[in-house]
Amino acid sequence: MWQAVHVRERLSSLNPGTEVVILGMTTKGDQILDRPLAEIGGKGLFIKELEVAMQEGKAHLAVHSMKDVPMVMPDGFVLAAISARENPRDAFVSNNYASLDELPAGAVVGTSSLRREAILRAKYPQLVIKSLRGNLDTRLKKLDAGDYDAIILAAAGLIRLGMENRIKAVLTAEQSLPAPGQGALGIELIDGAAAMADVVAPLNDPETAHCVKAERAFSRALGGSCQVPLGGYAIIDNGQLWLRGFVASVDGSEMVSAELRGNPADDEALGRQLADMLRAQGAEAILARLACK
């Protein structure tokens, strides 16, 4: 909802006199909280109802966290704008410990992400990793109730909701490579809605868009919208797009990673090239062992 309000305010300021109304909806991804996301259909559960509302003419656009948008867009829809990124990194949240390294053996860490789970199991095998679903308030309440010793969340969500004070440490990309699209917002439209595309075009941030397109192309080439422990993160560094990525087994016992640099205009080609580099290291064998249907 914060994301929708943020976009509404930006559109209102860009289009004085135009009324921008929020159609609040709760998706299946928000409703089914007792099972890991990978078991109930993946990230598409967060956007299907919104797409139906657009098809039925009840809504003109949908606002998404880019890390929750499936890597293969359904026919008839398009991502028309990707806004400037908030902090894309993961955050360590705990009431009793200042960092992952301080956690004692047997400490319980909560996460809803296969990517974070694989990283934690690889780097901190002494910790107990448990699934954590729900909105931000729900996850923090479970931490405060003592169900977990620490939880890992997207820093962007905490910052946007004014909860930055709950962050004990922001993990570096070297500690926990972010998910493709993490920290960025995307605007989805019905494909061919030219008038609306013109309206939302000013929300697009070219630098962020190049980075997210590279990250998504990398992920798409290694499994599309399947649930895969995968990280992909790009920045513009000295005029070049610097893309890093990895694929791992859920238990963290297998992991391959690589990085490359290139022209930002070649964003999607760079993403596919990085995927090929991981395949050359054995990524296909890891992917073949995952339950990716």
Chain segment 128-173, per-residue pLDDT in tens: 999 998 889 999 999 999 999 999 999 999 999 999 999 999 999 9
Which helix (DSSP H) or strand (DSSP E) does residue 280 occupy?
A: helix 267-280
Interval 37-93: pLDDT, tens = 444 444 556 688 899 999 999 999 999 999 889 898 889 999 999 999 999 999 999
Strand order through the sheet with 77-82: 62-65, 185-190, 77-82
Same domain for 163 and 231: no
Same domain for 293 and 210: yes
170, 195, 215 - which closes a domain: 170
Catalytic residue among 68, 90, 149, 267: 68
Q: For tokens 């867009």, name the residue.
A: 73
Helix (H, G, I), strand (E, B) or coil at 117: helix
User: Is 68 one of the annotated active-site residues of the chain?
Assistant: yes
pTM, full prediction: 0.89
Residue span of the structural domain in which 6 resides: 1-84+183-204
* Interior angle at CA 184, CA 267 and CA 259, nearest 5: 40
Q: How far apart are CA 16 and CA 86, in angstroms?
A: 26
Question: What is the secondary structure of 77-110 as a DSSP string?
Answer: EEEEEEPPP---SEEEE-SS-SSGGGPPTT-EEE
Same domain for 256 and 136: no
